[in-house]
Amino acid sequence: MRVFCASIATETNTFSPLRTDLADFKESFYAPPGKHPETPTLCSGVFPALRKRARAGEITLIEGTATWAEPGGLVNTSTWTHLRDEILGQLHAALPLDAIVLGLHGAMIADRCVDCEGDLIAAARQIAGPAAKIGVTFDPHSHLSDKRIQNADIITVFKEFPHTDFAETGEACVELTLRAARSEIEPVLSVFDVRMIEILPTSRAPMRGFIDKMVRHEQSGAALSLSVIHGFMAGDSPDLGAKILVTTNNEKQAGDQLAEKLGLELFSFRGTTRPEFLSPSAALAKATAHPQGPVVIADVWDNPGGGVAGDSTILLRRALDLGLTDIAFGTIWDPMAVRLCHAAGEGACLDLRFGGKTASDAGDPVDGNVSVLKTQRNAVQSFGQSVVPLGDCAVIDINGIVVVLNSNRAQTFSPDLFTNLGIDVTAQKTLVVKSTNHFHSAFETIATDILYCAVDGPYPSDPRNNAYTRLERPIWPIVENPHETEAA
């Protein structure tokens, strides 16, 4: 059995002041055919899963390119065209094929291409023909279009938010795709449009119980696979919003019924799934008053994983104004400040301006005399089995607050972002991280409390106020009763 695999992924915030080009992909992760590492990245878990099958003699594997860019703004046309054609050219050269497995994100939008993944899957189908089975993995923060459903045989989606199951999702996609290619199953996809866009962390109720229920349905044989598309509120897509995806073994009616049942249950959670969001002053006061550290504060709206720059200074400025100490911030993106710190060297003191460079609503730059505690080339952090590049980094002290400056944008995934740079997290009263929920699994083992801080900034966090131009369906919270509205 001949199987081709490739991966191209990013998450596009169409409201972001950033833009994404080929340099962003190569800076974050780019592996030409045969060069993918043994460990998976967030969207390329299909590679190690397929390599296991190839080593066992089950398949002949032809690898294409695997690449990932840190979430950002619109992908420019030439970059998208180049990467799409690179992978499609490799696929064409690999013919004939029994199966194609693609590791995608699902929220990529390019200038002049609203549905990048849908176009890629449709083109793959046209090249490989109707007999080849196509399996795809998606991040739940994606846009599920009809074009994707019509051209893919298998779609699996990370169940967890934080996305701790990305490797397992790749393995599930490979298993089902190969079973379909061997004619052991006849997969049929059923989709229910929940008509809702909301933050749906699975580390807490009610989503925790909902995901556990989905797993039990799979284990009972009610479906081959169950997935929730959360949607990505920062992407101006006609397919914005949550959807339920059920894959059955040629049981379309049962799949449709289960998708609707789960979808309406998910819709009933609207407005109840978010954690408590505190103001900067309230979050810092609560962390300071806690009897023991470290308390983790998540700066949820300056999360590079949502496509913004990650250089907001609002929370840091508030901590400085309050005269707080024993706090570590990870991170503030500022390549120029990193370069200046490296030039000064460890142990140096210098006047430094950092942060607040890319958006007018992310706070002004911070000016102060800082001590350079640590400089490191090619720093990394971990996310499960994946290694996440931070680029060159500098650790500075400003008035008793420790700040990690990085040159590669990345959200905070793990405490080793700090410890790899010599920061003792247990000695800090407070750790401020820039992430919505991906940090949760790794940090909950060391945190005495986890707080979520909503700092108004460049992320379009309220769908009711977002200037969507492509959304034509009624969805909550823009429309209070979207199912009734659509029926009428």
Interval 373-383: pLDDT, tens: 999 999 999 99
Calpha distance 215→197 (Å, rounded): 23
Mean of the pLDDT values across residues 260-288?
A: 97
Which pLDDT belongs to residue 486? 74
**Rounded average pLDDT over 331-345:** 98
Q: What is the mean pLDDT of residues 178-196?
A: 98
Position 456 scores a pLDDT of 84
pTM of this prediction? Answer: 0.96
pLDDT of residue 488: 62
Would you call 331 helix, strand, or coil by DSSP?
A: strand
463 residue type, one letter = P
Q: Are 96 and 133 in contact (CB under 8 A)?
A: no
Dump pLDDT digits (tens) for 301-312: 999 999 999 999
Looking at residue 321, its amino acid is: D
- What's the token pair of residue 52? 């296991």
Q: Average of pLDDT values for 205-233?
A: 97
Q: What is the per-residue pLDDT for 458?
A: 83
Share of the chain above pLDDT 90, in %: 98
> 316, 131, 167, 305: which is closest to 232 by C-alpha?
305
